[in-house]
Amino acid sequence: MLTFAFIEFRLIRMIIHLSSTVGPGEATKIAENIKAFHIQHGEQQILITSSSVKEVPNDLRDKTMESWVFDNDMQLSSKKYINGTREVAIGGVRIGGNTKNTLLIGGPCSVESESQIRSAAEMLKGMGLTTLRGGCYKPRTSPYSFQGLGFEGLQLLVKMREEYGLSVITEVRDATHVQDVIEYSDVVQIGAKAMYDQGILRACAKIKKPVLLKRGFGTTLQEFVQAAEFILSGGNENVILCERGIRTFETKTRFTLDLCGVAYLQEYTNLPVILDPSHAIGFAYGVTPLAKACTAMGIDGLIIEAHENPKVAKSDASQQLTYDEFAQLYTETSKVAAAVGYKIV
């Protein structure tokens, strides 16, 4: 009896790819009939069923091309659905798929001034790297701390893209400016504190630009992946996960980088994974050793904070690398990447 109850309440979902003869209108009607969620990826009509549907209904068999059954709440992001890692393009660089690229993203925590962000752009360009980070809407713990330059900062990032040909990544703090970040950045970063914001997730689902979704520091892997499902199910297939440290009992480091979680995400999800050792440890001394450890796992990218003069940085001063330290990190992670068949790009 108990066993029966367990099976009855276990969550089952299905993804159904309808045959090419079924158009969007018919797919919507079918979805309404079987109470499924309907999405369209390219020409493909896709249904995702609720738990009451455990196999393709009889009258839908001849309209079904392929179907998958899941016994946990991870569907579009699951390796069971796509057996590999999705490929995502960031400017001219590709990660995931069979690329074996580890994208090294660098730049300050916050965009502070034109000369400061320009120095970071020049550093990256000089090293042959392609992707500049810099926060404009900062989700600070205190309202009295520097909150970021906002729209002015975004315009500075756009200027750096135009002048140096770099891709730019910047974070969304809340839904009020999500459209500005979507319009002006090449990769939209959803910060750890914003990860649960459904206004942001749903806005990022409607675009095709890559989204770097950071894991909340109190977020389970299940919740993290389900946040990614919001973006995927809305039609944006370019989702990248970012592990940036979770809160544990430890207080000597800012957070604890969850490499076990990374192994899990690599094993069970089809999404590229980028690691952020800067926010995890919170201190510059550990960033390069951690970056090397991350690289050894065969990862899709690293996002590292670096500042022209970390001591006077307006946010996260203790964890930002000098440009010399960043160059050293590049050299050392390149060797580790090569040892595991990857390339830092």
Nearest-approach distance from CB 240 to Mn ion, in angstroms = 18
Q: Which stretch binds ligand PEP (CB under 6 A): 61-69, 149-157, 185-193, 329-337?
A: 185-193
Out of Mn ion, ligand PEP, none, what residue 300 binds, judged by CB under 5 to 8 A for its kind, is none
- b (16+ CB within 10 A) / e for 131-141: bbbbbbbbebe
The site map against ligand PEP for 233-272 (x = CB under 6 A) is -----------x----------------------------
CA distances from 44 to 21, 65, 90, 110, 235 (A): 10, 10, 24, 40, 11
Q: Which of 322, 314, 250 is nearest to 281 (CA)?
A: 250
Question: Is residue 61 helix, strand or coil?
Answer: helix
Nearest-approach distance from CB 193 to ligand PEP, in angstroms = 6
> Is residue 103 a contact residue for ligand PEP (CB under 6 A)?
no
In DSSP terms, which residues pair with 39 in a beta bridge? 46
Place of tokens 């675009």: 207
Question: What is the spatial distance between Cα 263 and Cα 273, in angstroms, rounded to a whole number?
Answer: 10
> Is residue 192 a contact residue for ligand PEP (CB under 6 A)?
yes
> Is residue 286 a contact residue for ligand PEP (CB under 6 A)?
no
Question: What is the spatial distance between Cα 234 and Cα 334, in angstroms, rounded to a whole number?
Answer: 36
Nearer to Mn ion, 109 or 232 (CB): 109
> Is residue 314 a contact residue for ligand PEP (CB under 6 A)?
no
Q: The tokens of 182 are what?
A: 């979507």
Please pick, from the candidates 13, 254, 279, 314, the single residue that binds ligand PEP as defined by CB under 6 A: 279
Chain positions contacting ligand PEP, by CB under 6 A: 109, 135, 139, 171, 191-193, 214, 244, 276, 279
Chain positions contacting Mn ion, by CB under 5 A: 109, 316
